């Protein structure tokens, strides 16, 4: 039994285009990387070495079908933020088929609304899970490697006041179902997905008895492509992002948060429909107020003024820092570190 994050990063067209145009090519590019992953472990390498080997071999093959290496590595970090919690909340004795099913559902959740993952890609994800299982890796160790460390951008689950994860390995009921604003944190596996096909990891009837979101708990900013492509020494500020992870430099396509989260099984603990719209452009929530738009205009004006000062040799303005009052919307006053590594992911 397991659960998934309710808000997942959505893959942009620059990734989904090549996948949908050539799904077998994507699957074929993954195969040698999976073999390299296994070979690295058999050669005594660490799990990090194995994921790096996967990226080093499959990355150039992905470039041949139109997915640049750094974007492919970003997919891995995004997948880690989606599949990692599910694997961590799943059973400690999950086998390769279980892991592959959770990874397959995670990738499906990352597909844009109305777009279904091709079966060739699903088969490739199941093969990757089987390789992980055959290598004898412990599923919770795999989940830990897939996710960003707690407290860093892209870590997908709540943390306590000391910055420790509240998620208990193997216990989906350890994570609050909703945050302080009533927004969903978790969702069940897809009703018609790979996990459901297994018939062993779906939530019990009536759901789990989740704890409430404690007032001292915090949520990191949700993963997006900017965060997924951050380097080891990048911070949200250095990447031009706000404390909630928005406003980064990624320009290959429009990044919406959400994914295909509308297919929530009936009887789930709480509705999760409209998440994609709520975090993306198709929102049925309240639109920005005139005051908010005016504030954005002021921010733009100040940025232009600072750029002008720099052009004339003047000093640039200081970078924004997280709100020490803890009143930030969405990010809830997230503490950042100097060295940020979103995770090894698939690369």
Average pLDDT over residues 114-140: 95
Alpha-carbon torsion (189, 184, 145, 37), positive or negative: positive
Q: Of the given ranges (85-99, 206-220, 249-263), which has the lowest mean pLDDT?
A: 249-263
333 or 173, which is more confident? 173
pLDDT of residue 315: 39
Average pLDDT over residues 149-177: 92
> For residue range 269-320, what is the model confidence (pLDDT) as tens digits?
333 333 333 333 333 333 444 444 444 444 444 444 444 444 444 433 333 3
Tokens linked to 85: 């919690």
Q: Which of 245, 272, 207 is nearest to 334 (CA)?
A: 245
pLDDT of residue 109: 94
pLDDT of residue 41: 95
> For residue range 263-274, what is the model confidence (pLDDT) as tens digits?
333 333 333 333
> For residue range 35-81, what is the model confidence (pLDDT) as tens digits?
999 999 999 999 999 999 999 999 999 999 999 988 888 888 899 99
pLDDT of residue 129: 96
- Helices 96-110 and 69-89 cross at an angle (nearest 10°) of 120
d(CA 49, CA 44): 9
Q: Which of 164, 181, 212 is nearest to 278 (CA)?
A: 181
pLDDT of residue 120: 96
Look at the block and give the residue holding tokens 């989740």: 210
Q: Which of 26, 23, 115, 79 is nearest to 225 (CA)?
A: 79
> For residue range 14-26, what is the model confidence (pLDDT) as tens digits?
889 999 999 999 9
């Amino acid at each position: 039994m397991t659960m998934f994050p309710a808000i997942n990063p959505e893959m942009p067209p620059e990734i989904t285009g090549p996948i949908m145009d050539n799904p077998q090519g994507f699957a074929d590019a993954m195969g040698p990387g999976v073999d390299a992953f296994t070979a690295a472990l058999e050669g005594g390498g660490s799990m990090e070495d194995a994921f790096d080997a996967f990226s080093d071999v499959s990355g150039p093959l992905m470039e041949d079908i139109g997915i640049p290496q750094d974007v492919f590595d970003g997919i891995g970090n995004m997948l880690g933020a989606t599949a990692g919690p599910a694997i961590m909340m799943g059973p400690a004795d999950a086998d390769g088929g279980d892991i592959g099913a959770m990874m397959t559902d995670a990738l499906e959740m990352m597909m844009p609304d109305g777009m279904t993952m091709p079966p060739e890609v699903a088969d490739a994800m199941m093969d990757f899970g089987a390789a992980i299982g055959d290598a004898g890796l412990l599923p919770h160790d795999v989940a830990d490697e897939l996710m960003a460390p707690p407290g860093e951008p892209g870590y997908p689950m709540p943390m306590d006041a000391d910055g420790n994860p509240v998620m208990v390995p193997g216990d989906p009921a350890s994570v609050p179902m909703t945050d302080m604003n009533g927004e969903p944190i978790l969702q069940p596996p897809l009703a018609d997905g790979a996990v459901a096909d297994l018939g062993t990891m779906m939530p019990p009837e009536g759901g789990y008895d989740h704890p409430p979101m404690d007032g001292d708990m915090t949520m990191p900013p949700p993963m997006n492509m900017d965060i997924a492509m951050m380097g080891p020494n990048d911070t949200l500020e250095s990447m031009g992002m706000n404390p909630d992870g928005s406003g980064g430099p990624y320009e290959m396509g429009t990044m919406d948060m959400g994914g295909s989260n509308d297919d929530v099984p009936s009887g789930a603990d709480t509705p999760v429909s409209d998440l994609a719209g709520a975090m993306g452009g198709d929102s049925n929530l309240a639109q920005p107020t005139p005051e908010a738009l005016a504030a954005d205009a002021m921010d733009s004006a100040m940025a232009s003024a600072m750029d002008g000062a720099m052009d004339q040799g003047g000093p640039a303005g200081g970078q924004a820092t997280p709100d020490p009052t803890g009143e930030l919307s969405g990010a809830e006053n997230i503490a950042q570190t100097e060295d940020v590594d979103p995770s090894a992911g698939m690369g």
